[in-house]
Amino acid sequence: MKKVLSILISLAIGAALGIALSSLINNIYSSEINTTSKIVEMVLLLVALFLGAYLQIILHEAGHLVCGLLTGYRFVSFRVGSFTLIKDANGKLRFKLFKLAGVSGQCLMSPPAGVTADKLPTALYNAGGVLMNLLCATVSLLLLIYCDNMHSFINCFLVTTVFVGYIFALLNGIPLKLSGVSNDGYNLMYLKRNKQSVKGFQSQLIINEKLQNGTRLSQMPDELFDLGGEIDYSDPLQSNVEIMRISRVLDQGDVEQAHSLFKELLNQHQYELLPLLRIEAESEMLFTNLATNNKEMAQILSNDKPLMNYITKHARVMSTKQRTLMAKTLILDGDRATAQHMLDTVKANRESYLMQGEVKSDIILMERLLEDKKDDSNQANTTN
């Protein structure tokens, strides 16, 4: 039912904007202005359409930011598209590039210090984006109703803001999984239903801030990865922390144990996991298969086109994906020189990555893998 609703809402966006744009274009062509002016008006309408839609993405994330600040949260990062504004470990604002499939924007904050999970304010921060979309769409609607003789550019901009604003509010307010990602309404549903979800939400935000500021998973306290009960794998606020816990085992150097845990997770819970989390776990499963020299299973996973497309697509902005591609190049392709070059590239670009803690871990894992395979090669040469 939710999937059908998502499709219907998406169709409504296209239909509404199409009707609005057609009406405005008809007004232009029925006017007595010359052809050149009509072309200029058309271009302006398309620009207004783009700006109105894009503005609502920015406003949505700004809503999370404002409501988070009002309830004691602290700024960590603000992303629209690939452009991400962060506050680094020194408290300075910097721009970086980061992109996550299915997520057009994201405002991440750090929870109020010293507040336990049972007293953590979650509703306003998570609902802030929807509230901002509704507010701005309503203001734009009132301007359209009560202001006459506006330029067609302003008119188109306001019409787009109204339609997209209300649609965004629906898409994010009604609990849905969109493009493999849980929306705000979905998260609010779990936060209201389960105290363990609140602990998972709090842990994720803290872990994210620490990773961004250069702390490795293995350096973080145990309690961040212990939700205190049985995991509900259909709840991304809980299952994401569990995936981070297994990644922490990998960062601690126990590749065999991490491999076993990822294998168990996917064997028992792959259909419960959110699609984005499932493909993340599969990506790490590919790496651990390569690192433990399980070439047969690694080859099967590397032939999975959606998985490899996901890894390749995100390799430019995520060092974890570069690490997996490097392992594939070394183990399956047997190309040590290219694998070394991939490691050198990650080292050279380490400051450009968003998650500095991940980069530190990935460089160590890549160096260790190259060293291990060097030792294996030396042993084989000695035997021969």
Q: pLDDT digit string (tens) for 209-257?
A: 999 999 999 999 999 999 988 999 999 999 999 999 999 999 999 999 9
pTM: 0.86
pLDDT of residue 31: 55
The average pLDDT across 365-369 equals 96
pLDDT tens per residue across span 156-166: 788 888 888 89
User: Quick one: 39 and 176 in the same domain?
Assistant: yes
75-99 mean pLDDT: 90
Q: Are residues 36 and 179 in the same domain?
A: yes
What is the secondary structure of 308-350 as a DSSP string?
A: HHHHHHHTTT-HHHHHHHHHHHHHTS--HHHHHHHHHHHHHTG
The answer to whether residues 93 and 166 belong to one domain is: yes
The pLDDT value given to residue 223? 95
Higher-scoring residue by pLDDT: 14, 175: 175
User: CA–CA distance from 166 to each of 10, 135, 159, 374 (Å)?
Assistant: 12, 9, 11, 58
Burial code of 96-125, b = ≥16 C-beta within 10 A, e = fewer? bebbeeeebbbbbbbbeeeeebeebbbebb
The pLDDT score that the predictor gives to residue 339 is 97
* Residue, of 2 and 329, whose pLDDT is higher: 329
Q: Which has more pLDDT, 134 or 37? A: 134
Q: Return the pLDDT at 2.
A: 44
Indicate the residue among 130, 154, 188 that finishes a domain. Answer: 188
Same domain as 9, residue 104? yes
Q: What angle do CA 194, 198, 201 make, to 5 degrees?
A: 135
Q: pLDDT at position 364, please?
A: 97
Task: Name the least confident of 2-11, 175-184, 259-268, 317-326.
Answer: 2-11
Number of domains in the chain: 2
In this prediction, residue 72 has a pLDDT band, given cuts at 50, 70 and 90, of very high
Q: Are residues 24 and 159 in the same domain?
A: yes
For residues 207 and 69, membership in a common domain is answered with no
123 and 243 assigned to the same domain: no
Residue 21: pLDDT band (50, 70, 90) is low
Q: Answer yes or no: do 61 and 146 share one domain.
A: yes
Q: Which residues pair with 80 in a beta bridge?
A: 83, 105
Residue 382 has pLDDT above 60, yes or no: no
146-160, 166-180, 289-303, range with greatest mean pLDDT: 289-303
pLDDT at 6: 47
Task: Check whether residue 151 and residue 23 sit in a common domain.
Answer: yes
pLDDT at site 271: 93
Residue 170 domain boundaries: 2-188
Least confident of 4-13, 66-75, 339-348: 4-13
pLDDT number for residue 4: 44
Domain boundary among 172, 188, 204: 188
218 and 167, same structural domain? no
